[in-house]
Structure 1
Amino acid sequence: MPSRLLAATALALTASLSLLAAGSAHAQGIYKLGEVNSYKAQPAFLEPYKKGMELAVEQINAAGGVDGRKLQLITRDDNGNPGDAVRAAEELFAREKIDVLMGSFLSHVGLALTDYAQQKKRFFLAAEPLTDKIVWEHGNRYTFRLRPSTWMQVAMLVPEAVKMNKQRWAIVYPNYEYGQSAVATFKQLLKAAQPNVEFVAEQATPLGKVDAGSVVQALQDAKPDAIFNVLFAADLAKFVREGNTRGLFEGRGVVSLLSGEPEYLDTLKGETPNGWIVTGYPWYAIQTPAHQAFLDAYQKRFKDYPRAGSVVGYNAILSVAAGLKKAGSADTEKLIAAFRGLQLDTPWGPITYRLQDHQSTMGAYVGKTALQKGKGVMVDFHYMDGADFQPSDAEVAKLRPAAR
């Protein structure tokens, strides 16, 4: 990319950051952002996520902060435990005097913090947990969510599943909120689009403790035409290895949630299966100017390439900063009002936090897995705008209690 164009691109991407610095240059103080997450339990996603947050904080502060106030990021580990997450949040408010609460990765932990936000009447940005309950059944006026939800990402995959025209489906998933929600949505949407489908096998595995041999054997015994997989991280690697060994994937279509993210393709390496339909992040092949500017900044800062978590962390901080700028303070009610309909630019394009359910329209990439030079990549991909994969307002009204 010519240096003049790249400079213009970087300027365009950081325009919103520069706007955040507008206002009194002499404003005093800082905004403390308290972030709670499962860093020890899910390092593959959350180490890059933290780097993404750090990059955004550094860029915003270098541009003058938010109305002259710098951002300070304070993190806590929740050990993948809902109770620990709530205790960490309370400690951040009591001891660190944070202004904004954000974070969480695992869905059951995110739900605990969502409930905490409502009970304590405190703003909470759920950056990563995917369960739909965060913005629907358990949704409340204090909680907003950034990452495209389980429903959204499954809805992006279902049209590709329909094109496969397979009748007998087997399903494997981690047996907790995220996996259960993904499976329920997949069944609902696929059945609506292709009424003749059958679900002939279902394997629900303990999170982080998959018995890959028995799971693969059970799926083989069912003789499905296709498989819907929701396993991720170490569970995914074990499942793929055992499936490759036993020939489970030969002649069968596979649709797999999240498996195109580099966090997980990097782990699979040469064992990456060919032709799986996945959601993910092909950072090496996205040609938009906004993403190029982010990629250059990230690689310069960390001497590494970004993962999906990097973008989520970066966008989370951009969101909070934009909300603080619009609100003019960290007052809970003002911040809630600012986030309702909040619009901002990100490396993946513009996003909006919906009025209806506080869900952002951040999208995802859908494509196919391939093995190139001994490494898993995504090919034949395209970006799916999250705004195009959300239920109607009428459906959301039924799902989200009006009183909350």
Structure 2
Amino acid sequence: MNTINKWVITSAVLWAAGSALTAQAQNVIKIGEVNSYKAQPAFLEPYRKGLELAVEQVNAAGGVNGKKLELIIRDDNGNPGDAVRAAEELVSRERVDVLTGTFLSHVGLALTDFAKQRKVFFLAAEPLTDKIVWQNGNRYTFRLRPSTYMQVAMLVPEAAAMKKKRWALVYPNYEYGQSAVATFKELLKKQQPDVEFVAEQAPPLGKVDAGSVVQALADAKPDAVFNVLFGADLSKFVREGNTRGLFQSREVVSLLTGEPEYLDPLKDEAPNGWVVTGYPWYGINTPEHNAFRSAYEAKFKDYPRLGSVVGYSAIISLAEGMKKAKSTETEKMIAAFKGLKLTTPMGPIEYRAEDHQSTMGGYVGRTKNEGGKGVMVNYRYMDGAKFLPSAAEVSKLRPAE
């Protein structure tokens, strides 16, 4: 065989291989996922399982618009700069169709800005700061989880009903903690004008000196405590608070503490009687949750956490948006997500056109130490739509598109 014939055959083989890869790529929708897997494993390991379950179910049902979903994941190390670099790599090199993910609020804000600059669709799955959909909101970014404002608004009526005058506050000193406390002060003051905030402790995220924090709160002699710490910081705070008697004869209102990611690790130190937001997976008896829980437990031989629900719902949201848009083009996705309605394990939700916030709600109840394990009792589901400002109010908070 002469050299020319060899070259022709080789070229034909390479062209065929390239054509096959191109055809394969055209039959795949790439979802770029950026998150703090190493920094926040308690929430994000279950979250990743939720993602995987949803992708598997969507693809088993034929995919979206005749294409299979493919998840491409990058870790942001809990760092905004790393998150932006990962997102740029996903968009430029991997050619993803959409972006999703982020957990920490300041990281979520960084990708919100990235989405605006690069004009790429971004579904912020988990970060809670209100700035993502209000002050820093943009047309390219939507958010799934109930925001800081929404979850605090669910707790404030319970706090006001306690009729406690002197409140102490403890929160991680970054965007999420700061905004949670600011909202709590504002909303509680409206319902109880004579309330006083007698102490504030704001340790760095992941670096709480629990002994000194607890002592400072106790020294202020508050009637009640509002806590925003989570994860390892929460565990240290609870241990020292129990040891030093901070919680004795005092009401505690606590954001996120009823989530199994944070309540389960407390084990026999789990407090009694705290008013919390959370996810009592063991007691939710609705068709949509039962189906999700059964599929999750069958696949992973484990019970779901709230992260599992969020990850699952993020993929289902993207899939439904793509179906409605009949495309993954950014402008068509934006149009499809405005007013998008779907059913999640938490029930039906809608992505509001006015601020791109979903109406997913949450559970509010009290903690109970039941046989050396923390659970939620006397809980009820709070519809997220009831804890959001009106379109007129949002127009004052959010930049014009």
Common fold: TM-score over 0.5 = yes
CA distance, structure 1, for counterparts of residue 306 and residue 109 of structure 2: 22
Please report how far the alpha carbon of residue 163 of structure 1 lies from its aligned counterpart in structure 2 after TM superposition: 1.0
| Residue type at the aligned position of 2:314 | A
Determine if the alignment matches structure 1 residue 145 to structure 2 residue 143: yes
CA distance, structure 2, for counterparts of residue 93 and residue 399 of structure 1: 30
| Residue type at the aligned position of 2:246 | L
Report if aligned partners of 1:299, 1:305 keep a CA contact under 8 Å in 2.
yes
Aligned to 1:163: 161
Aligned to 1:204: 202
CA distance, structure 2, for counterparts of residue 97 and residue 134 of structure 1: 24
Which of 46, 49, 54 is the equivalent residue of 1:48?
46
Alignment of 1:299-314 (within 5 A): 299-314=297-312
Q: Which protein has the larger Cα radius of gyration, Structure 1 or Structure 2?
A: 2
Which of 331, 335, 339 is the equivalent residue of 2:337?
339
Determine if the alignment matches structure 1 residue 71 to structure 2 residue 69: yes
Aligned to 2:350: 352
Alignment of 1:8-19 (within 5 A): none
Runs of 4 or more off by more than 2 Å in structure 1?
A: none
| Residue type at the aligned position of 2:96 | I
Are the structure 2 counterparts of residues 95 and 28 from structure 1 closer, same or farther at C-alpha, using a change threshold of 3 Å?
closer
Which of 323, 326, 329 is the equivalent residue of 2:327?
329
Which of 58, 81, 84 is the equivalent residue of 1:83?
81
Report if aligned partners of 1:136, 1:399 keep a CA contact under 8 Å in 2.
yes
Report if aligned partners of 1:281, 1:364 keep a CA contact under 8 Å in 2.
yes
Alignment of 1:209-228 (within 5 A): 209-228=207-226
Output one character per residue of 1:3-43: Cα deviation in whole Å (capped at 9) or x when no partner: xxxxxxxxxxxxxxxxxxxxxxx995110000000000000
CA distance, structure 2, for counterparts of residue 37 and residue 28 of structure 1: 26
Which of 185, 190, 193 is the equivalent residue of 2:191?
193
> Matched residue of 1:169: which SS?
strand
> Matched residue of 1:64: which SS?
coil
Report if aligned partners of 1:27, 1:69 keep a CA contact under 8 Å in 2.
no
Query: Which ranges in structure 2 are unaligned for 5 or more consecutive residues?
Result: 1-23
Aligned to 2:290: 292
Which of 370, 373, 398 is the equivalent residue of 1:372?
370
Output one character per residue of 1:159-218: Cα deviation in whole Å (capped at 9) or x when no partner: 000111100000000000000000000000000001010000000110000000000000
CA distance, structure 1, for counterparts of residue 305 and residue 214 of structure 2: 28
Question: How many pairs are equivalent?
Answer: 378
> Matched residue of 2:84: which SS?
helix
> Matched residue of 1:227: which SS?
strand
Aligned to 1:122: 120
Aligned to 1:22: none
Q: TM-score, normalised by structure 1?
A: 0.93
Output one character per residue of 1:96-144: Cα deviation in whole Å (capped at 9) or x when no partner: 1111101000000000000000011111000000000000000000000
Output one character per residue of 1:17-74: Cα deviation in whole Å (capped at 9) or x when no partner: xxxxxxxxx9951100000000000000000000001000000000000122100011
> Matched residue of 2:213: which SS?
helix
Output one character per residue of 1:284-314: Cα deviation in whole Å (capped at 9) or x when no partner: 0111111111100000000000000000000
| Residue type at the aligned position of 1:360 | S
CA distance, structure 2, for counterparts of residue 165 and residue 118 of structure 1: 44
| Residue type at the aligned position of 1:196 | D
Determine if the alignment matches structure 1 residue 382 to structure 2 residue 380: yes
Please report how far the alpha carbon of residue 393 of structure 1 lies from its aligned counterpart in structure 2 after TM superposition: 1.6
Please report how far the alpha carbon of residue 341 of structure 1 lies from its aligned counterpart in structure 2 after TM superposition: 0.5
Please report how far the alpha carbon of residue 240 of structure 1 lies from its aligned counterpart in structure 2 after TM superposition: 0.2
Which of 151, 154, 157 is the equivalent residue of 2:152?
154
Which of 386, 398, 401 is the equivalent residue of 1:400?
398
| Residue type at the aligned position of 1:199 | F
CA distance, structure 2, for counterparts of residue 113 and residue 149 of structure 1: 17
Aligned to 2:180: 182
CA distance, structure 2, for counterparts of residue 219 and residue 28 of structure 1: 59
| Residue type at the aligned position of 1:181 | S
| Residue type at the aligned position of 2:181 | V
Report if aligned partners of 1:240, 1:271 keep a CA contact under 8 Å in 2.
yes
Aligned to 1:59: 57
Determine if the alignment matches structure 1 residue 92 to structure 2 residue 82: no
Report if aligned partners of 1:27, 1:67 keep a CA contact under 8 Å in 2.
no
Determine if the alignment matches structure 1 residue 134 to structure 2 residue 137: no
> Matched residue of 2:344: which SS?
coil
Give the superposed CA RMSD.
Answer: 1.0
| Residue type at the aligned position of 1:83 | G
Aligned to 1:29: 27
CA distance, structure 1, for counterparts of residue 393 and residue 252 of structure 2: 29
| Residue type at the aligned position of 1:72 | E
Aligned to 2:281: 283
CA distance, structure 2, for counterparts of residue 187 and residue 294 of structure 1: 37
CA distance, structure 2, for counterparts of residue 335 and residue 43 of structure 1: 30
CA distance, structure 2, for counterparts of residue 111 and residue 56 of structure 1: 25
| Residue type at the aligned position of 2:308 | S
